[in-house]
Chains A and B, each alone.
Chain A
Amino acid sequence: MVKAKINGITVNVPEGTTILEAAEKVQIKIPTLCKHPDLPPTASCGICIVKLVGSNKMLRACCTPIEENMDIITHDPEIVEVRRTVIELILSKHPNECLTCGRNGNCELQKLAEEFGIRTSAFQQFLPDIPPDTSTGTIVLEPRKCISCGRCVTVCQQNQNVWALCFMDRGFGTRISPAGDGVSLSESPCVKCGQCSAHCPTGAIFENDDTAKVWKALQDKDTYCAVQIAPAVRVAIGEAFGYKPGANLTKKIYAALRRMGFNAVFDTNFGADVTIVEEASEFVQRFTETPEKLPLITSCCPSWVDFMEKFHPDMKENFSSCKSPHAIVGVLAKTFFAKKRRIDPANMFVLSVMPCTSKKYEITRSDEMYSSGYQDVDVSITTRELARMIKQAGININDISEEEPDHVLGEYSGAATIFGVTGGVMEAALRTAYDYITGGKLKNVEFENVRGIEGVKEGAIPVNGFTVKVAVAHGLSNVEYVLNKVKEAKRAGKELPYHFIEVMACPGGCIGGGGQPYGITDEIRKKRGEGLYDEDHNCKLRYSHENPFVKKLYEEFLDKPLSEQSHHLLHTTYVKRPEYQK
């Protein structure tokens, strides 16, 4: 433990605690702009400076560990003056476009300017003339609004190991960009996970706003509008309305969507149950018939698929060919549901609300995304976009009464809802696969060792005298460890370290997705995860294959898992893609 003084108040904190963290312990808030509680400090903005009594220099609180007997001053007129000047300098290189910016009202720079009471532009404005990069259709890079805090570069390189974003040039001309001059984001290794946009303090990286397309479809009387919400959306969207992280708003969202004018309100969780039935069947098939095709690797996460296609195309045979849940709901809406309700799928509009920016890319990523004969999912929006739409529609989400989803793509099991959290797909699949292989039920359906926010989780489950070894990785930087173990074992002709691997690109899984409300931390990830686990725990139905509507789907439409019809509608293919397209 280290004992020191901050503004005369004694603090006792563990060694290694930064001045910033120590100050929080004694209710002192040191302003910062570049430091995100979820990321290591980049030490780039210079706003969190503090003084040491007796020293002329100022220290950065975000990255300086507090030391024994330090006597720190966090606020005095000189410090505030320096901070104000730095903020004014940053504002001199940032466009005054707050009113028309996507971050208006929740921009960290705007908030700081407000707190410091900045009323005039002290310095001449110098704005770089760099056009926005809209090439991916998922996230928009607007370097003019960038304050070079470096958060996006840190998440892209350190957390995600993608290295699509870096700093280019230097000095005043420093800008964020894909590495290489003239390379657009879509030509870069970017996997569209959107973690950069979820961590950006300003509007420099922002989700491609598709809400106008949705409003347009809702206005058209001839269009039948269907919508689905992903598991992770329900436990996070509340944060945009003052709820605590993890609050489950599923039925309020159904009601709100219906008020907005959707004709049918579905749940992506239904698709998750179908995914599990298909994927568990795939696993059982490989496990019992073609063990050389193991390990089976989950493919629900489009960023992970993109990552694999770019960096590990040699593993594509190991990927589950099953589509992700929202794609399944999309195709079933325009086939199974449309047929039942006698709706012309040509006049249908399917929206998916996802915690994810990458789903915007997934809906057109390959020919299989049109297997209904039309684009299966027409538009995908993020949690943040839905929150804005609810506000635009004037809906008081806090007081709205709960409603139920529409048949036949709405009901779901507890196994489906945990799809939204790291380890959840694995856990759901194991429940069903165990039943398929042994014909019996698990004693305990909750797999504690694949839960939690550790980067790589490993587990072993005895099945019929055999041990099924599984691994769960989240945050793409954790993938290499797992894949390398598999590749090494294969090279050496040794026993496989894992039979089944789940990967989600975003740390924490979809609950920590790139399209979720701002301000993510591990604490919030845990809370959102608990929200989903609680729902599962309280569900009567814990097995995907026992969802009566899933059973009905197979009876009436698909025949059986992995049938020809299933393959046609519910499965996809993978190709090797270049890391750079230029």
Chain B
Amino acid sequence: MEKKVILIKDTGFKSDTTRDIQSLFLKAIRDIGAEESIQIVRAADLGIYNQGVVVKILPDNTVYTHINSDNIDQIVKAVHKGEVLENLLLKDRVEQTRIVLRNCGVIDPENIEEYFSKGGYTSIAKCLFDLTPAKVIKEMKKSGLRGRGGAGFPTWMKWSFAANSFGDEKYVICNADEGDPGAYMDRSVLEGDPHSVIEGMTIAGYAIGAKHGYFYIRAEYPLAIERVENALKQAYERGLLGKNILGSDFSFDLEIRLGAGAFVCGEETALIASIEGKRGTPNPRPPYPTDSGLWKKPSIINNVETLANISAIFQKGGDWFSSIGTEKSKGTKVFAVTGKVKNSGLVEIAMGTSIKDIVYNIGGGVLNEKQLVAVQTGGPSGGVIPKKHLDTPVSYEHLQELGSIMGSGGMIVMDEDDCMVDISKFYLKFCVDESCGKCAPCRIGGYQMLSILNKISEGEGELEDMDKLHRISQAMQKASLCALGQTAPNPVISTLRYFEDEYKQHIIDKKCRAGKCSKLIQYTINPDKCKRCRLCVTNCPVSAITGDREHGYTIDQEKCIRCGRCFEVCKFEAIARV
């Protein structure tokens, strides 16, 4: 009998109970003595969101949603017998275009055979035996694939520079130092389909004439590291890595290097310094890594998502790939959609899909039926896109025109409860914390901007602060050494561009529309609505609410820390936020 695999994923918004569910499944399997025929695997992403705990049965591809402890025995028995449980089946799935995530949640990532069953490693075979390195690059050019790490540099061009660069050694580096807040597509690919990345790197190695490659994975991704290690072992065992791959003349070795958690090490020259054992700070370019990279040898650094596209391109052809997407942005892009959206999670869509479609059709719309105000893309280097531009198709150029970027694919939906000054502060603080400190504009400029934003959000802002923000932004954009500093002001610039009134409201009226800036708000109790239930009194962490049932309750503004707890717990809307 064919072995069945049950993939589990908790797609819930807040909790992750995958581990607990896994042990319940294991117990159920043991109970019926099916350990040999049913295997349990925790999945990083199944492409299904907000459906509670979801399991997918392989190879049948049956998906059950909203699993709880009551129906685990039932599922295990059904799997064992080969039956289908109609009542738990997934309904109304929204289709995405899955190239990068094609195998994630579909195959067992720990089993190379399953990758083979999806056509895995046929692309490297095709490249090695049917194509010269130059033809490989030509096919890449045809595909139009551009780097998914953020900047969108044409991948074929990078490869071609490295291929034409002289060096006795060359290197292929997979940049898996994913660090944008909220983005986890790279982790998902490494956890769900590590072989596709290995195959992509091997093809890259063949194309540029490299014999060695490195996975640079952030150490905070233990499962991804484990899966890649396992996949490397299997690939070596099958002769897909190492000497004379598949009997060809091409030899290629891959090893893993761990990143110690500095965001800036995602910048290619800093990444190289980190692999070389130096302090992870960027270096000026030129020389570009394709001329003088790791150990001063020609090197290419490609992002995980970029590399995961490669084998698909060679399976189906560059023309097929370029038929997807817009004129200048080909293929698909994975977004990590989060924020005030009903279905948050990873979404892979064809380039050119509108932001509206992502938010409303795939994401299911705004949570709690609130008003969407803006969508933030591109993480800390990106910007906000206000509601009026929601029809914009997703592509490198379109997003840039709006003052944002594709970045690594973060997408945060913001509603009327989000404050733009607060959002700027959040992203800027991230870059200030992550600045390596090497160059003055970024090191000091970011800190100064953050202190100005803090001032504004605390009601201490002056109108000239907005000029200062513009001035420092300009200096950072023009004079910072690397992309971190050059793009760090983007969230501030774009919110200033689209939501200048909101800044002015903070500065002149000393008000925060969204009620996020705690120094600018006050909570008061409306005695007419108050039912004197004392719920607010018991929930106040600083005992700022006093009074009694007879005379009613008041909030001591001196003591109040504006945490909003009373506002949240009151069932009668008796707490007012002004």
* A residues with CB within 8 A of B: 41-47, 49, 57-58, 60, 63-65, 81-83, 85-86, 89-90, 92-93, 122-124, 126, 147-148, 150, 166-167, 169-174
Contacts and interface: CB of A to CB of B under 8 A. Distances in A.
Contacts of B436: 170-171, 174
6 contacts: A46-B479, A47-B479, A65-B286, A82-B478, A170-B434, A170-B435
Contacts of A45: 439-440
A92 B286 contact: no
Contact of B439 (A46, A81, A124, A166): A46
Nearest to B455: A124
Contacts of A169: 437
A173 B437 contact: yes
Residue from A45, A57, A86, A148 with most neighbouring chain B CB atoms (10 Å) = A86
Nearest to B437: A174
Interface stretch (B163-171, B390-398, B443-451): B443-451
A83 B479 CA distance: 8
B16 to A, nearest CB: 31
Nearest to B280: A170
B118 interface: no
Contact of B481 (A44, A85, A92, A147): A44
A172 B443 CA distance: 5
A90 B440 contact: yes
B384 to A, nearest CB: 21
B475 A171 contact: no
Contact of A148 (B279, B284, B440, B479): B440
A418 to B, nearest CB: 38
B568 to A, nearest CB: 34
A44 B432 contact: no
B497 interface: no
Contact of B448 (A46, A82, A89): A89
B60 interface: no
Given A89-B444, A89-B475, A170-B436, 12 more contacts: A43-B283, A44-B438, A45-B440, A82-B475, A90-B440, A92-B448, A123-B472, A124-B448, A126-B447, A169-B437, A172-B444, A174-B443
Residue from A47, A57, A85 with most neighbouring chain B CB atoms (10 Å) = A85
B440 A124 contact: no
Contacts of B302: none
A67 to B, nearest CB: 9
B440 A46 contact: yes
B468 A171 contact: no
B403 to A, nearest CB: 14
B490 interface: no
Residue from B286, B441, B478 with most neighbouring chain A CB atoms (10 Å) = B478
Contact of A167 (B279, B433, B471, B479): B279
Contacts of A173: 437
Contacts of A42: 438
A171 B440 contact: no
Given A41-B284, A147-B440, A166-B279, A123 B479 contact: no
B481 A64 contact: no
Nearest to A174: B437
B479 A49 contact: yes
Contact of B472 (A47, A63, A89, A148): A89
A-B complex: 6 closest residue pairs judged by Cβ atoms: A174-B437, A46-B479, A85-B475, A171-B435, A89-B444, A63-B284
A314 B438 CA distance: 38
A93 B481 CA distance: 19
Contacts of A167: 279, 281, 437-438
A86 B475 contact: yes
Contacts of A46: 439-441, 475, 479-481
B210 to A, nearest CB: 25
B447 A172 contact: yes
A174 B280 CA distance: 13
Given A46-B481, A65-B286, A85 B440 contact: no
Contacts of A150: 438
Contacts of B433: 171
B474 interface: yes
Nearest to B482: A43
Contact of B444 (A60, A64, A90, A170): A90
Which label, helix, strand, loop or mixed, suits the secondary structure of the A interface? loop
B289 to A, nearest CB: 15
B286 A89 contact: no
A90 B284 CA distance: 20
A147 B441 CA distance: 11
B474 to A, nearest CB: 6
A172 B440 contact: no
A83 B471 CA distance: 11
B262 interface: yes
A147 B281 CA distance: 17
A110 B232 CA distance: 56
A169 B434 CA distance: 11
Given A46-B479, A82-B474, A172 B437 contact: yes
Nearest to A41: B284
Given A41-B284, A123-B468, A167-B437, A81 B444 contact: no
A49 B478 contact: yes
Contacts of A47: 440, 479
Contacts of A44: 438-440, 481
A92 B284 contact: no
Interface string B465-493: 00010011011001111000000000000
Contact of B286 (A64, A85, A126): A64
Contact of A124 (B432, B451, B479): B451
A501 to B, nearest CB: 31
Contacts of B284: 41, 43, 60, 63-64
A92 B471 CA distance: 15
A64 B286 CA distance: 7
Contact of B441 (A41, A65, A86, A170): A86
A455 to B, nearest CB: 20
A170 B437 contact: yes
Contact of B474 (A43, A63, A81, A122): A81
Given A92-B448, A148-B437, A148-B438, A171 B478 contact: no
B283 to A, nearest CB: 7
Contact of A170 (B262, B478, B480): B262
A65 B287 CA distance: 9
A85 B438 contact: no
Contacts of A126: 447-448, 451
A571 B504 CA distance: 76
Contacts of A58: 478-479
Nearest to A84: B475
A76 to B, nearest CB: 12
B435 A86 contact: no
Nearest to B448: A123
B489 to A, nearest CB: 12
Given A44-B481, A47-B479, A172 B435 contact: yes
Contacts of B471: 81, 85
B437 A85 contact: no
A90 B439 CA distance: 10
Contacts of B475: 46, 82, 85-86, 89
Contacts of B440: 44-47, 86, 89-90, 147-148
A34 to B, nearest CB: 8
Nearest to B436: A170
Contact of A92 (B262, B279, B444): B444
A83 to B, nearest CB: 8
A174 B432 CA distance: 12
Given A46-B479, A85-B471, A93 B444 contact: yes
Contacts of B468: 122-123
B465 to A, nearest CB: 11
A309 to B, nearest CB: 27
A82 B479 contact: yes
B284 to A, nearest CB: 4
A168 B307 CA distance: 35
Residue from A60, A82, A167 with most neighbouring chain B CB atoms (10 Å) = A82
